[in-house]
Structure 1
Amino acid sequence: MTRRTLLAGALSATASGLLLGAASRASAAGTAASLEPLDITGPEAILGRRWIHLKLDENGRGLPVRVPLRVPGLRSASASASTSAEPTDIRVTSTTGLTRIGAAPDKPEDDGVTLRAAAGSASDLWVTPRRIGSPGVPADRLEIRTRKATAVVDVWIEPPGGRWLGADRDLQPLDLEIVAVHAALVRKGDGAEVVMWSPARDRDEDGNLKPDPDRPGKWSWTTFHMGALEASALDLVTLKTRERPMTSGTGVKPRNIFCGGHAHLPDGKLLVAGGHVDPAHLELDDAVGLHVYDANAANGWSRPAEMGVRRWYPAVTTMPDGRMLIAGGSRTPPAHEAAKNDLPKGYWNQINNDYQIYNPADSSLTPRSEARRLIDPELLSSPRDKLAVYPNIFVLPGKTATSLPLVALVETNRAWLYEYDKAKGDTPLVLAPTVYTMRGKGSRSYPTYGSNVLLPLKPGARKQRILVVGGQHEDQVKHRDITNEQKATATAEILDVDAYQPLSRQKGWRRVDGGMKYPRVLCDSTLMADGTVLVSGGTEKGWGDMNKVPVFASEIFDPVSETFRLADSAPTDRRYHSTALLQPDGTVLKAGSTGGFAHDPDTNESLFDEHTTAERYYPPYLYRGPRPAITAVAGAKEAWTTLGYDTTVALQARGAGLDAQSKVALIRFGSTTHGNNMDQRFVWLATTAQDSESYERWTIQFRTPETAAVAPAGDYMLVVVDSMGIPSSSRFVRLS
């Protein structure tokens, strides 16, 4: 029988026009395009290579898009008599109703449309997106039939701002049975889990949670209970949690490590430094310990060392040589009576301006007596200015692979730059004698924290960029004046660090034009699987313990254009003590939030409004088209692969959108609390060859990071991003 072919094309369409997808990328949006015919009896039709990509605008509307269809077997009347000259009917129907189709842009038909394909010409099908479907699958499927052939074309409808949905399998909120104040992605067996912890809720003698008599439907808390910790781990496959109490580990007694800092060790375990402090019992050894969480150990927790000083809200950073930097933190939390915080033993005068180095190879730790100063107070304008708690610390590559690595520390409204010289032993930080002050005057650190993120690193780039968003209003000069009425800022700034220039002569901070759409404090910024940044949560007014006017709307920052755009609004307010963590499937898990953490100063009513549920953010790329998939790394199909530095590695991938412009990236496992993800890092890798093996199958060769200053040793997610900006699900990689 003679084969008949029907055009359904490799399409990617925007709301304003048609773009060629996998077949070609030459046409511009808004122009009509001639499309290659789809042979419905060939492998491309069977495997579903062809799809249509539509986009909705910010108001949820989409314009009709022209899709020309023709039957290539038809010939004009002047052709040979053996070739049919009769027009052929093409019947098109929608299977879900999420698109509207018609023979004209203003005449959609609910029951499908019949087109007449004349010899030598195309028939126009007009497709209009109505609303999005579920993430990760086509919103609609068009059946296109002639008398002798049938083709099925998937339609993907992309919302500009992605979508917030429940984190459970049925897209309903997922009950974590814990307030995820701290959250980290960690390796467990051949997969990964999310470990979470918070202060322990009160329990009766039988271990049952005790309800709060003053807050119906809520639990009773004793936040300063130093001998208790509530910790759980979320299995990413089953979405079930298991308790991970700090009880029976060797040499471990329960300690409240809520308010500690944490980052991943090179072997994938999680190091936690410090914790909560009870102002009424400062003689206790709370917040002085180092703890390690091992997802694969029965007991989970161990305590390898003590720091010799309380560190409440410290920073922990994995350094290029595999050692861990533990910095800052306070010896006491702030009082709600502002005057007490200025006393000699008050909060502002108890912040540790020093750092210690922990070496996991032998569990050694710098003695507190030998801890070195972190910042130089003499460079500050006033003796009242202090180092902030939870400073954001970033490791940066030096000028060359043999140069000393660089370190940037961001706190309050300023940045400090260092060289990292491991030859100096336990005092490796060499501070540049310049403080880089932001354009905005307000503080972006606790108690009015915003969020910082190191933007994606590119191979061979001489500059690295640090983005800071949110925090105290830009006109606020008195950082110690904290009230529940003070305003947040919508501004954002970028620090460019040029490795080719002396650290004392950098250009400093610059404003991001336009800033964010919403002011916010107490927010999160999360690197997503395509290199963009999700900004979520927070409030428009207040500080940690006392805040109001939650921000539901999210925003996406594009590191290429350096602009923000609105994203979907979350269904739940996520304020103080909330977390946001990128998942291996490319979604962002959002959890936690205690609302406030005190009582209203006027009414004495509790400001607690804790959330034990989790939502998931589905970025726009999960609605854009079929995702590529990595099938093997370095010839191995196992879930985990260990890679060295500065080596060429081949991966095998399949995907309809893969081509010679596809990219490869490493994304470090995240570890976050209080708007400070101390681990997240996105590294674009240099690709050296991309070869198409067969239909939709590619071998891509890439170079691993040249040094550990580009990507410190530890666990990463490996992704392939096709030329439509759609990332694969992750494969796990350990850089060693």
Structure 2
Amino acid sequence: MKITLPILSFLLRQLLILPVLLPCCRIILTDAAGGKWDLLLPNIGISAMHMQLLNNDKVVIFDRTDNGRSNISLPKGKCGNDPNDCTAHSVEYDVATNSVRPLRLLTDTWCSSGAVMLDGTLIQTGGFNHGDHAVRVYKPCRGYYCDWQEFKHGLTQRRWYATNHILPDGRQIIIGGRLQFNYEFYPKVPLVDKPYLLPFLARTNDPKAENNLYPFVFLNVDGNLFIFANNQAILFDYTKRKEVKTYPTMPGGDPRNYPSTGSAVLLPLKNFQGGAIGAEVLVCGGAPKGAYLSAKNNGNFVTALSSCGRIQITAFNPQWTMETMPLARVMGDMVLLPNGKVLFINGASVGTAGWDLGRNPVLSPVIYHPDKPSGSRFEVQKSSSTPRMYHSTAILLRDGRVLVGGSNPHPKYNFIKIFPTDLSLEAFSPSYLDPTSASLRPKIFSPASQSIIGYGQQLTIKFTIPPGRLNKSSAMVTIVAPSFNTHSFSMNQRLLVLGGGKVVAIGLSKYKIQVVTPGSKNLAPPGYYLLFVVHQDVPSEGIWVQIK
């Protein structure tokens, strides 16, 4: 048998399997400039199709529930719907102890969606089969017995491949899904809430390949929603159920949503005190038009897209500006880093999303610098040795690392086929976590984590920096909304750079900076955020703040 790189990688990981309920030492895979990879746990028992960081520094991770037995058992007496399957399809990962514990899911979460509410509760919606109308609730708590609550008929419509976003009033809007050209809200108002038509989703639906599933949705600074599907975008007033702006078709006309599966972010919001603010969206990667059917029907795997489109969605006459990534990428994830940069990670360079339809994994992350001149914004990072193909995930942690998991391009768990099912968790540490940057790293000591802050108020942040290392002109404060990540899109992902005054010394190596919190719920919907002090592009460890 020919030993290929994916098979060799899998065999090596199997040798490292340790009991997943116990803390595990971190195994360094690479350590050099351009980031570092750590293997955290070689086997968490499930493949990480969905991820969400909670405000207690636990990460809820789950797969679909209809693909057979997993590799982690539920506690005795907690079998699921199938009495012959007492394995878990969800786990809670504890960042502090680097361990997981199994959670019980009953309804099918395959290709579902979600977001976190004001109080930190994860509301998770839709899926497949008996889970397509379900709402699932996970409340962060400190007890060992926290688990999912499930409501099988919580939605009015079937939601499979839909997108969720938190609104300024604290509700979630749930948009689209397979053959669902409409949207609805959660929580429900009895006898009032119903699905509302969104013709844009019907217009962008490809009858053969769809290419408008998991639409990219961002709350604009005016309270309307930017919605991107296939290769088109609108600005949508959900309160009046009206399209208020149609954006130009993205140049090239190639699709960017599932199954062509590019990714997108709302770039950092800044300079929003005392005047108008511009908001920009970046859409990158995906697969060319026709690539999905070519791979599925003919076994012909087309090279992924290397283009990015950037557009100021608040402009009077918005136009796309195109850029070229150093690596073509489909099924990649885009993660906002605390210093305002964007990390591209995971995915393949050939094929599309779908069962066994991707080839040539992209092992090297890329960092995008939004504020650099066009042509000099991309920086290739150190490679992982682990392919992260279809059904991979990536989220930001409070310490600045990026948690990476998943990859199962097969209908069932399969550890032999090309790109075998991956049950591991890794962390990618950007170069700002290199030991050489330690002397530049701030440490916040006030306010305390879990503090509550209001809108438009003065906020004083106190921090330390090693003696003689402070550059007062290069310090800033950012807040980041933790996102729900699945299928190469991070729902509700948002970063704001808080404006304010200068850095002032208050003692030996102690300083303070006064900033102004966001002035409206349109800028920052209520809920939990990670707050960082960033000094010379090096972020502190974050603290949790709740904006309400």
Contact 2:204–2:230 at 8 Å: present in 1 too? no
Q: TM-score, normalising length from structure 2?
A: 0.82
Secondary structure at 1:552's aligned position in 2?
coil
Q: CA deviation at 1:207?
A: 5.5
1:290 and 2:135 equivalent? yes
Q: CA deviation at 1:433?
A: 5.2
Code of the aligned partner of 1:576 = Y
Contact 1:464–1:498 at 8 Å: present in 2 too? yes
Q: Determine the structure 2 residue equivalent to 1:519.
A: 328
Q: Which structure 2 segments of 5+ residues have no match? A: 1-25, 76-80
Contact 1:437–1:508 at 8 Å: present in 2 too? no
Distance 1:615 1:649 in 2: 35
Q: Determine the structure 2 residue equivalent to 1:455.
A: 267
Superimposed CA distance per residue, residues 478-520 of structure 1 (whole angstroms, 9 cap, x where no aligned partner): 7755435122111111121126x3xxxx3232202xx111111
Q: Determine the structure 2 residue equivalent to 1:320.
A: 168
Q: Determine the structure 1 residue equivalent to 2:534.
A: 721
Distance 1:448 1:570 in 2: 24
After superposition, where does 1:350-369 map in structure 2 within 5 Å?
A: 351-359=179-187, 363-364=188-189
Distance 1:527 1:468 in 2: 13
1:182 and 2:29 equivalent? no
In the alignment, which of 181, 184, 193 is matched to residue 58 of structure 2? 193
Q: Determine the structure 2 residue equivalent to 1:667.
A: 480
In structure 2, relative to structure 1, the CA distance for the partners of 1:555 and 1:288 (3 Å cut) is same
Q: Determine the structure 2 residue equivalent to 1:161.
A: 34
Contact 1:628–1:658 at 8 Å: present in 2 too? no
Q: CA deviation at 1:469?
A: 1.2
Contact 2:209–2:293 at 8 Å: present in 1 too? no
Q: Determine the structure 2 residue equivalent to 1:16.
A: none
In the alignment, which of 383, 401, 404 is matched to residue 569 of structure 1? 383
Distance 1:418 1:713 in 2: 20
After superposition, where does 1:248-259 map in structure 2 within 5 Å?
A: 254-259=106-111
In the alignment, which of 234, 237, 243 is matched to residue 419 of structure 1? 237
Q: Determine the structure 2 residue equivalent to 1:614.
A: 425
Aligned residues: 490
Q: Determine the structure 2 residue equivalent to 1:261.
A: 113
Distance 2:428 2:33 in 1: 13
Q: CA deviation at 1:689?
A: 4.2
Distance 1:675 1:373 in 2: 26
Superimposed CA distance per residue, residues 297-316 of structure 1 (whole angstroms, 9 cap, x where no aligned partner): 74522235522322111111
1:528 and 2:396 equivalent? no
Q: Determine the structure 2 residue equivalent to 1:303.
A: 150
Q: Determine the structure 2 residue equivalent to 1:390.
A: 214
In structure 2, relative to structure 1, the CA distance for the partners of 1:365 and 1:577 (3 Å cut) is farther
Q: CA deviation at 1:537?
A: 1.3
Q: Determine the structure 2 residue equivalent to 1:628.
A: 442
Q: CA deviation at 1:159?
A: 5.0
Code of the aligned partner of 2:49 = V
Contact 1:598–1:608 at 8 Å: present in 2 too? no
Q: Which structure 1 segments of 5+ residues have no match? A: 1-134, 136-157, 168-172, 210-221, 247-253, 278-284, 331-350, 399-404, 422-427
In structure 2, relative to structure 1, the CA distance for the partners of 1:511 and 1:599 (3 Å cut) is same
Q: CA deviation at 1:608?
A: 6.2
Superimposed CA distance per residue, residues 666-702 of structure 1 (whole angstroms, 9 cap, x where no aligned partner): 0111210110100221110012343111222111111
Superimposed CA distance per residue, residues 85-104 of structure 1 (whole angstroms, 9 cap, x where no aligned partner): xxxxxxxxxxxxxxxxxxxx
In the alignment, which of 223, 228, 245 is matched to residue 410 of structure 1? 228
Secondary structure at 2:433's aligned position in 1?
helix
Q: CA deviation at 1:597?
A: 4.1
Code of the aligned partner of 1:364 = V
In structure 2, relative to structure 1, the CA distance for the partners of 1:492 and 1:321 (3 Å cut) is same
Secondary structure at 2:160's aligned position in 1?
coil
Contact 1:652–1:700 at 8 Å: present in 2 too? yes
Distance 2:493 2:191 in 1: 25
Code of the aligned partner of 1:508 = Q
Distance 2:163 2:180 in 1: 11
In the alignment, which of 72, 92, 96 is matched to residue 237 of structure 1? 96
Distance 1:560 1:489 in 2: 23
Alignment RMSD: 3.1
Q: CA deviation at 1:435?
A: 4.6
Secondary structure at 1:625's aligned position in 2?
helix
In structure 2, relative to structure 1, the CA distance for the partners of 1:227 and 1:710 (3 Å cut) is farther
Secondary structure at 2:407's aligned position in 1?
strand
Q: Determine the structure 1 residue equivalent to 2:16.
A: none
Code of the aligned partner of 1:673 = T
Distance 2:208 2:395 in 1: 35
In structure 2, relative to structure 1, the CA distance for the partners of 1:674 and 1:378 (3 Å cut) is closer
Q: Determine the structure 1 residue equivalent to 2:310.
A: 494
Code of the aligned partner of 2:346 = G
Contact 2:181–2:201 at 8 Å: present in 1 too? no
Distance 1:432 1:387 in 2: 23
Superimposed CA distance per residue, residues 581-622 of structure 1 (whole angstroms, 9 cap, x where no aligned partner): 11101011111111344899xxxx955611111111111111
Contact 1:269–1:294 at 8 Å: present in 2 too? yes
Q: Determine the structure 2 residue equivalent to 1:464.
A: 279
Q: CA deviation at 1:710?
A: 1.0
In structure 2, relative to structure 1, the CA distance for the partners of 1:490 and 1:185 (3 Å cut) is same
Please identify the structure whose Cα radius of gyration is greater: 1
Q: Determine the structure 2 residue equivalent to 1:443.
A: 255
Taking CA–CA contacts closer than 8 Å with sequence separation of 6 or more, which of the two structures ends up with the larger relative contact order? 2
1:688 and 2:501 equivalent? yes
Code of the aligned partner of 1:697 = K
Distance 1:589 1:487 in 2: 27
Code of the aligned partner of 1:450 = G
Q: CA deviation at 1:292?
A: 1.2
Q: CA deviation at 1:646?
A: 0.7
Contact 1:261–1:315 at 8 Å: present in 2 too? yes
Superimposed CA distance per residue, residues 346-391 of structure 1 (whole angstroms, 9 cap, x where no aligned partner): xxxxx101000113xxx537878x4222233786698879671111
Q: Determine the structure 2 residue equivalent to 1:578.
A: 392
In structure 2, relative to structure 1, the CA distance for the partners of 1:683 and 1:367 (3 Å cut) is same
Secondary structure at 1:576's aligned position in 2?
coil
Distance 2:201 2:37 in 1: 44
In structure 2, relative to structure 1, the CA distance for the partners of 1:245 and 1:367 (3 Å cut) is farther
Secondary structure at 2:140's aligned position in 1?
coil
Secondary structure at 2:391's aligned position in 1?
strand
In structure 2, relative to structure 1, the CA distance for the partners of 1:383 and 1:540 (3 Å cut) is closer
Q: CA deviation at 1:524?
A: 0.7
1:273 and 2:148 equivalent? no
Contact 2:115–2:484 at 8 Å: present in 1 too? yes
Superimposed CA distance per residue, residues 320-370 of structure 1 (whole angstroms, 9 cap, x where no aligned partner): 11111011111xxxxxxxxxxxxxxxxxxxx101000113xxx537878x4
After superposition, where does 1:93-242 map in structure 2 within 5 Å?
A: 159-167=32-40, 173-188=41-56, 192-200=57-65, 202-203=68-69, 230-242=89-101
Distance 2:185 2:501 in 1: 37
Q: CA deviation at 1:410?
A: 1.3
1:371 and 2:181 equivalent? no
Contact 2:37–2:384 at 8 Å: present in 1 too? yes
